[in-house]
Amino acid sequence: MIKLNPKAKHQTMTPQYKDFLTKELPRKLRTLAGDQAPNFGIMTAQHTVEHLIFVTKSIAKRRGEPEAELNKSQQYFRKFIDAGAPFEYRPKEGAELNELRSSNIAEAIQGLEKATEQFYALFETNPDHKSYNAMMGEFNLAELELFNYQHGRWHLYQFGLIEAFSAI
């Protein structure tokens, strides 16, 4: 479970996660060809980068306000984050790839870098921001940063760019 410092005035970023998301992840993704197939799953390398852009942008938004009780989906995501974001491969029958939005993987990686900069800028200007959506629930910086870190690591593992993956 993520422990927050109750004496801290505002949420603070985790240097290890920020360095990974802003430096290591883009650097490792640049070693992939855009059409490279993963070791498991259906997304090519470029599809994966574009997926990371979408998730990085959407996860930090606040869409509405939380209800008093978590719904079933929110309970699942709360447990997932509290367990250290233990991503695992679960094939989806009939899953199809989205159309690519970027002209190549290099352009997509630049888009991911920009999305990551915007993610951190949001918390620099509003350190107490909490995201919310009806499917996942409400999350603070520490939880979102953990999610993005683990999500990026999971996809590096998917392409064999890191040797092991586990929950934090």
Q: Express each pLDDT in 45-66 by its tens digit.
A: 999 999 999 999 999 999 999 9
Q: Indicate whether 7 pLDDT > 50.
A: no
**For residue 1, what are the contacts with CB-CB under 8 A and spacing of at least 6?**
82
Q: Higher confidence at residue 52 or residue 6?
A: 52
Side chain identity, residue 133: N
Q: What is the pTM of this model?
A: 0.92
- Number of residues assigned to the chain: 168
Q: Indicate whether 77 pLDDT > 50.
A: yes
Distance from C-alpha of 131 to C-alpha of 57, rounded to nearest angstrom = 11
pLDDT-based confidence at 10, cuts 50/70/90?
Answer: low
Q: Any idea which residue has 């574009």 for tokens?
A: 50
Q: Write out the E strands in the chain.
A: 131-133, 137-139
Q: Express each pLDDT in 97-146 by its tens digit.
A: 999 999 999 999 999 999 999 999 999 999 999 999 999 999 999 999 99
Calculate the average pLDDT of the chain. 93
- pLDDT of 12: 83
Q: What is the mean pLDDT of residues 88-105?
A: 94
What backbone torsions phi and psi does residue 23 show, to the nearest 5 degrees?
-120, -60
Q: Indicate whether 6 pLDDT > 60.
A: no
